[in-house]
């Protein structure tokens, strides 16, 4: 585990023991000891629990965890830096056990029920330099690799061309991917991305704060609810995302919030054609398209499925979370 995760684990367990007076022991910190999501194994009063460590929580990550934890037995505990009261309530409602470094906790077992909220962090863990691969240009390269299976085997120049970044950017991203055990070089076979589900999860949870905000061109409102049904997508550099795309892919929801990704040069014409008016509280988000056409995707008028998945999880809406899982199973799983 990265050193910061180790610090969070040790701090959280110490605070938990201090507040509960329970017998708690750290058994192992072998990375991926049982499963790609397992970071450690702990013992609480003679019962063992698998631990997943997340440095920080946001809406996207919590929705992702809810989808994943539904498939696992109730012996997994999330350990993180801090869980605020609203987030604690959401985790509890979805039966996700957790412990944070402030002492907030939720454990739900037959003979052990604990719910502590409202504890505040008195001492912040030292923040280390953010991983380069999860900065904006790094996220752009990782996204390009994820939507183009096998691209990591090609030249750095080809990767840079597809990601539309400088060659030097690809150099340090590939170096960081190797260092963090997401990329291996196996001689004649070439380079291979590994632990791709974990890498996808990291991308999905860091994209909203670290990259998406930079791509937002504006929020708008349309004169009619069905305005999007009249969009001409053919060769116009305009792509459906979020609920609009998900509704067409799954037939599982009716889109309330509309996300459009667009090539910048078409923005003004698009706004005028559909009589959109700027509104900071509008239900239409327009974002700048930042990728080039990927290899395997049958819907030219939609953004890549990973992006639909990320934007759905970012909303915090339970129905969108369920839809995101459908899209993962249907369109993403086979590549990951």
Q: What is the pLDDT of residues 159-218, one digit of tens each?
A: 999 998 888 889 999 999 998 889 998 876 689 999 999 999 999 999 998 899 989 999
Answer yes or no: is 121 within a domain. no
**Residue scoring higher pLDDT (71 or 277):** 277
pLDDT of residue 295: 55
Answer yes or no: is 124 within a domain. no
Answer yes or no: is 41 within a domain. yes
Answer yes or no: is 77 within a domain. yes
Sheet holding 40-44, edge to edge: 24-28, 40-44, 47-54, 76-80, 97-100, 105-109, 112-116
Answer yes or no: is 126 within a domain. no
pLDDT of residue 36: 56
In this structure, are 210 and 312 located in the same domain? yes
Q: What is the DSSP string of 175-229?
A: HHHHHTTSEEE-GGG-EEE-SHHHHHHHHHHHHIIIIIHHHEEEEEE-SSTTGGG
| CA pair distance 180, 14, nearest whole angstrom | 28
Answer yes or no: is 271 within a domain. yes
| CA pair distance 130, 176, nearest whole angstrom | 12
Q: What's the whole-number average pLDDT of the chain?
A: 87
253 by Cβ neighbours in 10 Å (0-12 / 13-18 / 19+) ranks as middle
**pLDDT above 90 covers what percent of the chain?**
54
In this structure, are 99 and 73 located in the same domain? yes
pLDDT of residue 251: 87
Q: Which of 101, 88, 78 is nearest to 19 (CA)?
A: 101
85 by Cβ neighbours in 10 Å (0-12 / 13-18 / 19+) ranks as exposed
**Residue scoring higher pLDDT (130 or 53):** 53
Residue 64 has pLDDT above 90, yes or no: no
Q: How confident is the model at residue 56 (pLDDT cuts 50, 70, 90)?
A: confident
In this structure, are 320 and 229 located in the same domain? yes
State which of 87, 116, 145 marks the end of a domain. 116
pLDDT of residue 34: 44
State which of 82, 116, 150 marks the end of a domain. 116
Pairing verdict, β 258-262 and 284-288: parallel
In this structure, are 37 and 106 located in the same domain? yes
Residue 2 has pLDDT above 60, yes or no: no
The arithmetic mean of pLDDT across residues 241-264, rounded, is 92
Residue 150 sits at φ, ψ, to 5 deg, of 90, -10
pLDDT of residue 281: 93
In this structure, are 216 and 308 located in the same domain? yes
In this structure, are 313 and 208 located in the same domain? yes
Domain that holds residue 107: 3-116
In this structure, are 136 and 260 located in the same domain? no
pLDDT tens digits, 6-33: 888 888 998 898 889 888 888 876 544 4
pLDDT tens digits, 33-52: 445 568 889 999 888 898 99
In this structure, are 217 and 108 located in the same domain? no
Q: Which of 43, 16, 196 is nearest to 104 (CA)?
A: 16
Q: How confident is the model at residue 78 (pLDDT cuts 50, 70, 90)?
A: very high
Identify the CATH number of the domain in which residue 17 sits.
3.40.1350
Identify the CATH number of the domain in which residue 143 sits.
1.10.10.10
In this structure, are 139 and 109 located in the same domain? no
In this structure, are 8 and 108 located in the same domain? yes
Q: How confident is the model at residue 72 (pLDDT cuts 50, 70, 90)?
A: low
Phi-psi region of 212 (alpha: psi -120 to 50; beta: other; left: phi over 0): alpha
Q: How confident is the model at residue 258 (pLDDT cuts 50, 70, 90)?
A: very high
In this structure, are 275 and 166 located in the same domain? no
| CA pair distance 62, 96, nearest whole angstrom | 9
Answer yes or no: is 49 within a domain. yes
pLDDT of residue 74: 62
Q: For the chain, how many structural domains are there in total? A: 3
Answer yes or no: is 56 within a domain. yes
In this structure, are 96 and 52 located in the same domain? yes
| CA pair distance 167, 188, nearest whole angstrom | 23
Dihedral, CA of residue 8, residue 13, residue 15 and residue 16, to nearest 10: 130
pLDDT of residue 37: 63
State which of 194, 215, 233 marks the end of a domain. 194
pLDDT tens digits, 110-143: 889 999 998 987 655 544 444 678 888 999 999 9
**pLDDT above 70 covers what percent of the chain?**
90
């Amino acid at each position: 585990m990265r050193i910061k995760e180790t610090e969070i684990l040790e701090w959280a367990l110490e605070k938990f023991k201090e507040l509960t007076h329970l017998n708690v022991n750290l058994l192992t910190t072998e990375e991926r000891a049982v499963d790609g999501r397992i970071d450690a194994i702990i013992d609480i009063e003679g019962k063992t629990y698998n631990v997943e460590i997340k440095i920080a929580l946001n809406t996207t990550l919590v929705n992702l965890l809810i989808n994943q934890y539904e498939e696992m037995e109730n012996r997994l505990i999330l350990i993180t830096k801090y869980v605020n009261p609203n987030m604690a309530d959401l985790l509890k409602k979805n039966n996700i056990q957790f412990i944070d470094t402030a002492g907030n906790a939720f454990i739900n077992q037959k003979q052990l029920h604990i719910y502590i909220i409202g504890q505040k962090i008195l001492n912040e863990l030292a923040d280390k330099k953010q991983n380069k691969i999860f900065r904006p240009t790094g996220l752009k390269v990782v996204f390009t690799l994820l939507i183009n299976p096998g691209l990591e085997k090609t030249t750095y120049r080809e990767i840079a061309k597809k990601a539309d970044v400088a060659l030097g950017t690809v150099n340090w991203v590939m170096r960081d991917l190797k260092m963090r055990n997401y990329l291996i070089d196996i001689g004649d076979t070439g380079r291979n991305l590994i632990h791709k589900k974990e890498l996808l999860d990291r991308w999905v949870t860091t994209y909203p704060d670290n990259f998406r905000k930079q791509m937002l061109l504006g929020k708008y409102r349309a004169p009619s609810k069905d305005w999007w049904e009249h969009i001409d997508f053919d060769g116009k550099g305009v792509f459906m995302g979020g609920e609009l795309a998900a509704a067409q892919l799954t037939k599982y929801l009716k889109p309330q919030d509309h996300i459009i990704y667009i090539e910048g040069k078409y923005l003004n014409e698009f706004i005028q054609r559909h009589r959109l008016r700027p509104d900071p509280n509008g239900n239409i988000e327009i974002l700048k398209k930042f990728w080039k056409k990927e290899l395997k995707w049958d819907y030219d008028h939609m953004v890549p499925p990973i992006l639909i998945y990320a934007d759905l999880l970012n909303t915090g809406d339970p129905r969108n979370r369920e839809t995101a899982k459908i899209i993962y199973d249907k369109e993403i799983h086979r590549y990951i």
